[in-house]
Amino acid sequence: MDDVTADRYERGRTRFLDVHDEKALAAVEGLGDLGRAIVEFAYGDVYTRQGLSIRDREIAAVAALVASGRSSQIPQHLRASLKAGLTPEELGEIILQTATIAGFPPAMNAMSTLRTVLAEREGA
Amino acid sequence: MDDVTADRYERGRTRFLDVHDEKALAAVEGLGDLGRAIVEFAYGDVYTRQGLSIRDREIAAVAALVASGRSSQIPQHLRASLKAGLTPEELGEIILQTATIAGFPPAMNAMSTLRTVLAEREGA
Amino acid sequence: MDDVTADRYERGRTRFLDVHDEKALAAVEGLGDLGRAIVEFAYGDVYTRQGLSIRDREIAAVAALVASGRSSQIPQHLRASLKAGLTPEELGEIILQTATIAGFPPAMNAMSTLRTVLAEREGA
Amino acid sequence: MDDVTADRYERGRTRFLDVHDEKALAAVEGLGDLGRAIVEFAYGDVYTRQGLSIRDREIAAVAALVASGRSSQIPQHLRASLKAGLTPEELGEIILQTATIAGFPPAMNAMSTLRTVLAEREGA
Amino acid sequence: MDDVTADRYERGRTRFLDVHDEKALAAVEGLGDLGRAIVEFAYGDVYTRQGLSIRDREIAAVAALVASGRSSQIPQHLRASLKAGLTPEELGEIILQTATIAGFPPAMNAMSTLRTVLAEREGA
Amino acid sequence: MDDVTADRYERGRTRFLDVHDEKALAAVEGLGDLGRAIVEFAYGDVYTRQGLSIRDREIAAVAALVASGRSSQIPQHLRASLKAGLTPEELGEIILQTATIAGFPPAMNAMSTLRTVLAEREGA
C-alpha cells in the first residue's frame, strides 16, 4: 500500500469504527482484498460523504438488506442503527414498512433478528 | 363495503394523498381489490402508524425498491420523498448508499429515474 | 385494540389456524405488531377471500417462496399444503415446475425441505 | 438432431402448443439452442409429467414469475392460465396472494398485465 | 427408464462426475426426480455442450450463484471451479467482480465460503 | 478533486474505455457522483486488478447480470464481452449455463438482447 491508498484506507477504517465496532472490523478485514475494498469504498468513500446522516444511511441499509434478502449483514446493521440513534421502535417500523414492498417473509426474519440483537444488548 | 371497512379505507385514502397525490391514487384504485388492499393495509394500517416519520418511511421505501429491483414504483416514491421533505441531494446519497448493498446496476437506473423526476418537477 | 380491530384479528387468527397450526401461530404472534399485521392482513383479509381455495393459495405460496428464495417460510407452507390436501407427489411437481422458472438451486433446497417435512410427519 | 432428440423435441412442442399457442412457440423457437432447451426440458420433460394438472402448474408458474420479478414471461403465462381454465377472478386472487409473500410492487405490475391480457382477449 | 433416457442420464452422470465428485452426485441423486432432471438436463444436455470450457462455465456458475443469492450451491461450485483449474486467486477476483454488480453482502458470504473450501482442501 | 482522486479517476476512465466505449462512458459520467464512484471503484480499483483477464471478468459480469435480473446493463456488458474476445457462441453458452441456475425467463431476455446487440454490430 502506498501512502495515498493508506490514507484512504485509514479514513474508511475510522468511519467503519464510528458506524460499527472493532469486532465487525476484524470480520471484514479477515476477507482480504474484498475486505479492503469494503473499508476503502463503502466506508472511506461513501459513508464519509456529506449530505446524509449515518442515522439515515442506516435506515437505507436496513431496508435494502431486508428487501434484497441479504440476511447475513442484518445483525451488523441493526447494531449500527442502534449506535446511530435509531430506537428499537423505529427499527420495528422500518421492518414493517419494508414488508409492504418486499413481502412478509423477509420482514419476519428481520424482526426475529432485531429481537436477538436487542436481547444481546441487554445481556451485555 | 360495510362502515368499518369504509372507515379503514378512508383513513388509508387520506394518508395515501398525504404521501402521494390524486394521480397516483387513481392508478392504485384502478387495480381493483389489490388496489383496495394497498390503500387499506399499506396506507391505512402501516403508513398511519406512529413511531416513524413519513420522511423516514420514504428513505426505507426508496432503498427497498432500489435494492429489490422493483423499479416500476421508484418514480412514485421519489416524488413522495420530495414531498416528504427529502432533498434531491439526500435522495442521491440514499441511492449511492444502496449501491454498496445491492450493486451499481439498480443504483444507475434509480439515479436516471431521479434525474427524470427532478426534470419533470422543474418543467411543471 | 378496539372492537373492530379485535374482530378482524379474530377472523385472521381463526383462518391462520385452519391453514397452519397453534405452534406456527405462536411464532407469528411472537413478532409483535408485524405478527399482528400478518394475522390481520395476510390471513384476516387475504386468506379469507372467496375465489381461490386454500389448496390453490398454497400452490401459489410455495411457488412464490421457492422462486423468491424466501426459504425460512417454506417448511411452514409445505406443512400447510399437506394440511390443505396437496399430496407429497404434487408438492414435488410444484417444486420441479418452479425450477424451470427460478433455476435448480432454490428447487434443490425446497426438495430437501420437503423430505424433512415428510419425515417429521411420519415420525410424529 | 438424431431420432431420439427429435422425438423429445416433438413431445415438448406438442405440449407447448397445448399450454401456449403458435405465436409463443415461434418466439421461443427464435431463441436458438436456448429455445430448444426450453421446448425439450421445460415442456417435453417437465410439463408432460403426470402428478400435477396444467391448471395447477400455471398457478405455480404465475406465482413464481410474479414473486421473482421475471415480468417478461407474465403475459404468456396469464394467457396460458386462462387457456388451462383458471378464471380472471382466480388469477386476481393468485396475484393478491403473491403480494403477501413478495410485496405489493410486483403484484401491482402483474395486475396491470392481467388487465391488458383480458382486454386483448375481449378485443380479439 | 427406457434405453434412451438411460443413455442421457448416463451421459449427464459422467459429466457430473467430471465437474463435481461422487459425494455431490449422491446428494443430487437423493433428490428423486428433481435430481434426475438436474443430471439429465443441466449436466447431460448443457454441461456436455461444446463451445464453452468447464472452467468458463464455472466462472459463470459462481458469479450467477453469488449474484442471485443462491448460497447453498456455492461450496459445490467453488470446489468444481478449483477442479476445473481456476486458482484461489481467480476465484477471489470473480467474487470481487460480482460485488460491483450485486453488492458487498453476497460477496462477503462467498468469500467466507471460499476460505472454508480452501481450508477443507488443505486439511484433506 | 485533488490530485490523488484525479489520478484514480483517470486510471478508472482509461480502463472503462478499454472495456466499453466513449458512449458508455458518457452515460455513466451523466450520473454525477454515482458515475464517479463507478469509474473510480468498479473500473479504477476492481477492473484494473491483476489476477483475472477482462474476458473472464466479462463472463462473470454477464452471468451475474442475467442471474440477478439487472437487465438494463446487459447490452453494455454483451458489447464489452465481444470487445474482450468472447464469441457470440460463447455468450450464448454463458446465457444457457445461467438458465440452469436462475431459470429460463432471464435467460430468454438475455438471449434476445444478444441477438439485438449482434444485429447492431452487423448493421454498423
pLDDT (tens digit per residue) in A63-106: 999 999 999 999 999 999 999 999 999 999 999 999 999 999 99
What pLDDT was estimated at residue D3? 67
pTM, two decimal places: 0.96
pLDDT (tens digit per residue) in C21-58: 999 999 999 999 999 999 999 999 999 999 999 999 99
pLDDT (tens digit per residue) in A19-62: 999 999 999 999 999 999 999 999 999 999 999 999 999 999 99
B41: contact with F, CB 8 A cutoff: no
Task: Tell me which chain E residue has its CA closest to the CA of residue C114.
Answer: E31
**What is the Rg, in whole angstroms, of the alpha carbon atoms belonging to chain A?**
15
pLDDT (tens digit per residue) in B9-59: 999 999 999 999 999 999 999 999 999 999 999 999 999 999 999 999 999
Please, which pLDDT band fits residue F1 given cuts at 50, 70 and 90? Answer: low
A54: contact with B, CB 8 A cutoff: no
Task: Tell me which chain B residue has its CA closest to the CA of residue C68.
Answer: B68
Please, which pLDDT band fits residue D1 given cuts at 50, 70 and 90? Answer: low
Asked whether E37 and D48 are in contact (CB, 8 A), the reply is no
**CB-CB: which of D4, D37, D45 is closest to E37?**
D45
Q: Hey, CA dihedral for A99, A103, A104, A110, is it positive or negative?
A: negative
What pLDDT was estimated at residue F2? 64
Determine the 3-state secondary structure of C105 from DSSP.
helix
Chain D residues touching A100 at Cβ < 8 A? 103-104
Determine whether the interchain pair F31/B108 forms a contact, defined as Cβ–Cβ distance below 8 Å. Answer: yes
Any idea how long chain B is?
Answer: 124
pLDDT (tens digit per residue) in F41-62: 999 999 999 999 999 999 999 9
Q: How far is E103 from chain B (nearest CA, A)?
A: 4
E41: contact with B, CB 8 A cutoff: no
What pLDDT was estimated at residue C6? 79
Tally of CB atoms within 10 A around A124:
5
User: Is residue E4 pLDDT above 80, yes or no?
Assistant: no
- DSSP states of F15-37 as a string? HHHHHS-HHHHHHHHTTHHHHHH
**In degrees, to the nearest 5, what angle opens at C-alpha F45 toward C-alphas B96 and B69?**
35
* Closest of C85, C67, C84, C65 to residue C75, by C-alpha: C65
3-state DSSP: chain A helix, strand, coil percent, rounded to 5?
A: 85, 0, 15
Please, which pLDDT band fits residue B116 given cuts at 50, 70 and 90? Answer: very high
Rounded CA separation F122/F124 (Å): 5
Determine whether the interchain pair E101/B103 forms a contact, defined as Cβ–Cβ distance below 8 Å. Answer: yes
Chain B residues touching F34 at Cβ < 8 A? 92, 95-96, 99, 104, 107-108, 111
Asked whether A35 and A28 are in contact (CB, 8 A), the reply is yes
F58: contact with A, CB 8 A cutoff: no
What 3 state SS string does A15-70 have? HHHHHCCHHHHHHHHCCHHHHHHHHHHHHHHHHCCCCCCHHHHHHHHHHHHHHCCC
What pLDDT was estimated at residue F4? 66
Any idea how long chain F is?
Answer: 124
* Closest of C33, C5, D69, C7 to residue B40, by C-alpha: C5
Q: How far is D118 from chain F (nearest CA, A)?
A: 22
Determine whether the interchain pair F34/B92 forms a contact, defined as Cβ–Cβ distance below 8 Å. Answer: yes
User: Is residue A1 pLDDT above 60, yes or no?
Assistant: no
User: Is residue B80 pLDDT above 80, yes or no?
Assistant: yes
* Closest of C29, C36, C33 to residue B52, by C-alpha: C33
User: Is residue C124 pLDDT above 80, yes or no?
Assistant: no
* pLDDT-above-70 percentage for chain E: 97
Q: Quick one: cell of E3?
A: 434405453
Q: Which contiguous run of DSSP H or E holds residue B64?
A: helix B54-67
What pLDDT was estimated at residue B4? 66
DSSP F48: T
Question: Taking all residues of chain E, what is their mean pLDDT, rounded to a whole number?
Answer: 95
Dihedrals phi, psi of F2, to nearest 5 degrees: -80, 175
Chain A residues touching C42 at Cβ < 8 A? 104
**In degrees, to the nearest 5, what angle opens at C-alpha F16 toward C-alphas F11 and F17?**
105
